[in-house]
Structure 1
């Protein structure tokens, strides 16, 4: 049996309105109670992730800020893999560029971020990527469908998963990863089993070993039941 499951949050265990799927919470708790480690991996901040872990029922092992930070359990040592200066510098360039075109960029929770920069999706991501490319900025732009993120090159959920696996004393090949967005691609590729829920875009589905038939949190439950069938034969989730 796979020893750990790493899952994205928004769009994977939630619906499109960011409401957590209750079946997904039950599935996560079933895994945790059976000794399977569950890691929440997201573009969200550490403080957001800490609250979510507590409510859902995991031990606080997280990947946050799209791989820019990660931590083994709570209250363990937070590892910062990203480069906040690079992300902030790129944001300032984009802010000035779009301000000249009459569009203001709205930062999200800047004071709580250690590695990346996140802002509202009120610009064309491809136009922003062109600015980054033309200015040779050392970042990449991620559009998660909920926010736009700037992250230092070479940092992603996959690199964080690999480092975190070492701290957990297991191999990436012994982990399963589930996601729905472009910021999940590397994570799906690094894990032993990569799953995309049905609402994922084509590039994310192509990176996965398997794609669920159902969307959002229902797809997450479908995937967990497929790869951990023995646990759910005995659980009330067999009807979901």
Structure 2
């Protein structure tokens, strides 16, 4: 029987340039069990991906800060606290780095993402002083409340879908996938995954990016 699937987007369903590999869309659409898209991106991005892939909008967004399943939208974090960190960061002369419009953070509701070209040290210092943490996903520095994670948010999503977390398989590539990969029944890391994701996974496939996702799918369905 096909198990429910939790899957990251960037670095997992994408090519190295972060564009979505079209081959994965049919895989998601044809999956014979629930699919949960779990990402560090703001909620509109995975919702749109589900819509265009033709699958139910089961989503974990903002590294576990937001969950949406079966018309139930739950927030697990507080953007105001993260905004205070970023305001002090800017007051010290640093920039978030996304330009004047900042579409990266425009729809975020529980955290703030900072460009990895911006200095990390002062961001971590300010966050720790205010009781928050900074997670490096490989694509951005995310300022968020400690304890939030994809794995933790996936517990309630799985329950809403009528499953235990251990019923799931998951595929990911980044530090923010660590908890998800460790806590599901079987976690798969693609070859481009960082060390934390690889250590948390039960299986590390030899292929990278979307090729790695497709290789993991082949293993899952065997």
**How far apart are 1:152 and its partner, in Å?**
0.8
CA distance in 2, matches of 1:227, 1:127: 42
Aligned residue in 2 for 1:193? 186
Aligned to 2:75: 80
Question: How much does 1:131 deviate?
Answer: 4.1
Q: 2:198 aligns with which of 196, 202, 205?
A: 205
Q: Which residue of 2 aligns with 1:113?
A: 108
| Mapping 1:124-139, distance limit 5 Å | 124-126=119-121, 128-133=123-128, 135=129, 137-139=130-132
Q: Distance in 2 between matches of 1:47 and 1:150?
A: 19
Assess if the C-alpha contact under 8 Å between 1:175 and 1:192 holds in 2: yes
Task: Report how far residue 139 of structure 1 moved.
Answer: 1.6
- 1:6–1:175 Cα contact (<8 Å) kept: yes
Once the two structures are superposed, what CA deviation does each residue of 1:38-95 show, in whole Å capped at 9, x if it has no partner? Answer: 111111111222211111121011001111000114xx12110111122112222222
The corresponding residue for 1:29 is: 29
Measured against aligned partners, the alpha-carbon deviations of 1:88-123 in whole angstroms (never above 9, x if no partner) come to 1222222223x1xxx422354333111111122222
The structure with the largest alpha-carbon Rg is 1
Distance 2:200 2:60 in 1: 19
Give the TM-score normalised by structure 1: 0.85
SS in 2 for 1:40: strand
Structure 1 segment 94-173 matched on structure 2, within 5 A: 94-97=89-92, 99=93, 103-106=94-97, 108-109=102-103, 110-126=105-121, 128-133=123-128, 135=129, 137-173=130-166
Q: How many residues align?
A: 218
User: In structure 2, what is the equivalent of residue 8 of structure 1?
Assistant: 8
Name the structure 1 match of 2:221.
228
- Determine the C-alpha separation between the residues in 1 that align with 2:125 and 2:192: 27
Find out whether 1:176 has 2:173 as its counterpart: no
Match of 1:43 in 2: 40
2:109 aligned counterpart, secondary structure: coil
Partner of 2:51: 54
Computed over aligned residues only, the root mean square deviation of the Cα atoms, in angstroms, reads: 1.6
Q: Which runs of 4+ in 1 moved over 4 A?
A: none
* Structure 1 residue 207, shift from structure 2 partner: 0.7
**1:166-187: per-residue Cα shift (whole Å, max 9, x none)?**
1111100000111111111011
Name the structure 1 match of 2:65: 68
Q: Which has the higher helix share?
A: 1
Stretch of structure 1 that moved more, 112-121 or 59-68:
112-121
**Paired residues of 1:88 and 1:117 also in contact (CA < 8 A):** yes
Return the alpha-carbon distance in structure 2 between the equivalents of residues 165 and 215 of structure 1. 27
Give the TM-score taking structure 2 as reference length: 0.91
Gaps of 5+ in 2: none
Distance across 2 between alignment mates of 1:148 and 1:159: 20
Specify every segment of 5 or more residues in structure 1 that has no aligned partner in the other structure, as ranges: 230-240
